[in-house]
Amino acid sequence: MAALDSPGTPGGYRWTALVGLGLRAMVSRRIELLGDLTHWKLHTAAIQTAQLRGLLAKARDTQFGREHGFARLATLPDQELIRTYRSAVPMADYEGFRALIVRMREHGEPNVLWPELVKNYAQTSGTTSGDKYIPVSEAMMKSNFRASLDIFAHASRFGASVPWLTSGKMLFLGGSTELSTNEHGIRTGDLSGIVAPLIRWPLSQVYSPGHTVALMSHWPSKIEAMARLTLDQDIRMISGMPSWTLKLVQRVMELAREAGRPARTLRDIWPNFTLFVHGGVKYAPFEPRIRDAWSGSTQDVPMRLEVYPASEGFIAMQDTPGDPGLRLLTDIGNYYEFVPLEEINDPDARACSAWEVEKGQRYVVVMSTCAGLYRYIIGDVVEFDTIPAGFDGRGGEGPCRLRIVGRHKHFINAFGENIIVEHIENAVAAAARSAGVTIGEFTAAPVYPGEGRKPGLELAVECDRGLGEHEAMPAFREAFDAAIKAQNVDYTTKRTDDVGMGPPVISVLPVGSFHRWMQSRGKLGGQHKCPRCANHRDIIDAVKSSASPASSR
């Protein structure tokens, strides 16, 4: 990346590089601290306990705080504090907080969960529940801002030059920034809209697509507007989900070719593009298509940084290039616990702090946040790659690093096969490589037995070319089947001699089928994504009905 730091590089530094110099100065001390791995190895337990203590002290006079004895809890010694907090506050999902949030959001009541009138709520939805309204306090806004600075700190650690990035445009593919406001002055909408006011001058000078396009809620029109706007911009950084980034860059290249410009790859249009910040879905299944768009399959984008944001708070981000482990953000105002996946529905489920987890065990993420959610089950399932030391400083390997492997309500276990999201994602990526095809979105579901039909697994996958052909389909299906067997002994047992389950069914759909289905549900764009698997057929049948399959074998 040395060449990127040189003012003599083609394109040079514009005055906007001064924005980058200021931003670089803001994160300089953070870069040094983030690079001190021994610090995070030895002090994560103390740091996380301090976050919890601060939350309890801050919320002690709220209704929830008084009912659960936060004032007393905040005075307890570290290890006793954690034990007592778990006894005093039960874990709960959104339904456990819904009534309290209604009072806060719809009636404007302060001091219910957090010691202020929380004026912003991020609206989210999923396939397992209706709309949810996640409180976003001023403290959470500051927490998210600190996390965003860590993106630039880690990018600098990776070798990127922040002044170089800000000498061009930084493109953010978020949802609509339009918010609805009720009679109490309380705003509700996409998290993108809530954080938009943070983008002020001088950052607004390097931000794309700008507030006018960002306000757009109709996603197809928004993609078109962004493509036309950015075609002639010097894009140097993109932040967004891989699927929507692909949709945008493909349209940008189409527009360039329509204009008669030599645009064999995206690199011909945005030669200074340096950093792709992505999250929300596993990157591996999208890598071949992004690589092809960027360079004609010869190389990936110059630099990638994976992040793990949630409406409830920014959770983790990649801290080592090429390493899938995401470092837990332990010092930005939130406290984390992890519950073994198999115990999540047990009223006496164990909960582990970041230094108490074990490798090889899948955990459901539980958060206590600086916006008033306490022991809140967010539903993501993770595994750990690196575990820090406990209070005694013994053991530990470094900062707490984890990987997202699924959602605790997204799985397939119709016949005892125990398939999770990670199994599907890994198998699709392996099968695409084996068959030599590029794929788009996908989802899986059980195949129920019927006359002449064995129980099994079905994968619906988008592919614009190749997979529907006779030569590619068997290779894809066999590699997909083998990859799941390699990860899952229960599936292997059921598939032995085709006795318990038959071979998987692969239903090939035209590219765009999943987006059409999401649009029909009013969930197109932004942070909305299709579940990779479900223990029912509602999703896969609805997606298939949105398009005529190219093949189903």
State the sign of the Cα–Cα–Cα–Cα dihedral 51, 175, 292, 153: negative
> Are 280 and 292 a contacting pair, CB within 8 Å?
no
Task: Provide the residue type at 227 as one letter.
Answer: A
Predicted pLDDT of residue 545 = 87
pLDDT at 469: 58
First to last CA, the chain: 47
Q: 411-552 belongs to which homologous superfamily? A: ANL, C-terminal domain (3.30.300.30)
User: Tens digit of pLDDT for each residue in 238-258?
Assistant: 999 887 898 899 999 999 999
**pLDDT of 7:** 37
| pLDDT higher at 142 or 16 | 142
Q: What is the DSSP letter of 341?
A: G
pLDDT band at 224 (very low <50, low <70, confident <90, very high): very high
The DSSP secondary-structure symbol of 394 reads -
Pairing of strands 275-278, 132-135: unpaired
Q: Is 418 exposed, middle or buried (0-12, 13-18, 19+ CB in 10 A)?
A: middle
User: What is the per-residue pLDDT for 465?
Assistant: 65
Res. 341: pLDDT tops 80: yes
Report d(CA 40, CA 45) in Å as an integer.
9
Which residues, listed in sequence order, are joined to residue 368 by a DSSP beta bridge? 335
Summarize the confidence of residues 65-70 as an average pLDDT: 98
Percent of the chain clearing pLDDT 90 (strictly above)? 58
Asked if residue 211 lies in contact with residue 196, where contact means CB atoms within 8 angstroms, the answer is yes
The residues, any chain, with a CB within 8 Å of residue 145's CB and separated by 6 or more, are: 198
In which band, very low, low, confident or very high, does the pLDDT at 524 lie, cut at 50, 70 and 90?
A: low
Q: Of residues 468 and 410, which shows the higher confidence score?
A: 410
**Which amino acid does the sequence have at 145?**
F
State mean pLDDT over 329-342.
97
Contact (CB, 8 A) for 93 and 132: no
Asked if residue 219 lies in contact with residue 526, where contact means CB atoms within 8 angstroms, the answer is: yes
Span 342-375, pLDDT tens digits: 899 898 899 999 999 999 999 999 999 999 999 9
Domain map of the chain by residue range? 2-34+140-178+195-309, 38-103+325-406, 411-552
Per-residue pLDDT at 126 exceeds 60: no
Other CB atoms within 10 A of residue 6 CB: 12
Give the C-alpha separation, 509 to 441, whole Å: 9
The kind and range of the H/E element at 491 are helix 489-495
User: What's the Cα-to-Cα distance from 378 to each of 324, 344, 372, 413, rounded to whole Å?
Assistant: 21, 11, 14, 21
Q: What is the pLDDT of the chain when averaged over all its residues?
A: 88
CB atoms within 10 A of CB 314: 23
Q: Is the per-residue pLDDT at 123 higher than 60?
A: yes
Answer whether 41's CB lies under 8 Å from 388's CB: yes
| Residue with tokens 């396939």, as numbered in its chain | 127
For 207-233, the DSSP string reads EES-HHHHT---HHHHHHHHHHHHTTS
Q: DSSP secondary structure string, 19-72? A: HHHHHHHHHHHHHHHHT-HHHHHHHHHHHHHHHHHHHHHHTTTSHHHHHTTHHH
* Mean pLDDT within 107-120: 96
pLDDT at 470 over 80: no
Most confident region among 174-188, 327-341, 413-427 by mean pLDDT: 327-341
Give the pLDDT score at 15. 66
User: Using one digit for the tens of pLDDT, what is the confidence trace for 411-468?
Assistant: 787 777 878 888 899 999 999 989 888 888 899 998 987 777 888 899 999 987 656 6
Q: What is the mean pLDDT of residues 376-404?
A: 94
What would the pLDDT profile of 20-53 be if each residue is shown by its tens digit?
A: 888 889 999 999 999 999 999 999 999 999 999 9
For the purposes of burial, counting CB atoms within 10 Å of the CB of 51, is it exposed (0-12), middle (13-18) or buried (19 or more)?
Answer: buried
Token pair for 154: 């880690």
- Res 548: pLDDT: 57
Contact criterion met (CB below 8 Å) for 177 and 211 = yes
What are the residues whose beta carbons fall under 8 Å from the beta carbon of 251, sequence distance 6 or more?
223, 224, 227
Distance of CA 35 to CAs 26, 29, 320, 357, 395, Å? 16, 10, 10, 23, 20
Reported as a pLDDT band with limits 50, 70 and 90, residue 551 is very low
Q: What is the dihedral of CA 49, 50, 53, 58, to 10 degrees?
A: -150
In this structure, the strands spanning 207-208 and 120-124 are unpaired
CA atoms within 13 A on the CB side of 540: 23
* Cα–Cα distance measured from residue 357 to residue 355, given in angstroms and rounded to the nearest whole number: 6
What order of strands is seen across the sheet that includes strand 326-328? 207-208, 169-172, 235-239, 275-278, 303-310, 313-318, 326-328, 401-407, 376-386, 363-368, 335-340
pLDDT of residue 312: 95
Nearest to residue 275, comparing CAs of 317, 238, 244, 245? 238
For residues 275-283, average pLDDT: 88
28-41 burial, b at 16+ Cβ within 10 Å, e below that, comes to: eebbeebeebeebb
Tokens 């809530």 found at: 194
pLDDT in tens, 290-312: 999 999 887 889 999 999 999 99
Please tell me the predicted confidence (pLDDT) of residue 525: 59
Give the C-alpha separation, 422 to 412, whole Å. Answer: 12
**Which stretches of 448-553 are assigned E, i.e. beta strand?**
456-462, 505-509, 551-552
pLDDT, average across residues 126-140: 79
Q: What is the torsional sign of CA 229, 266, 528, 276?
A: negative
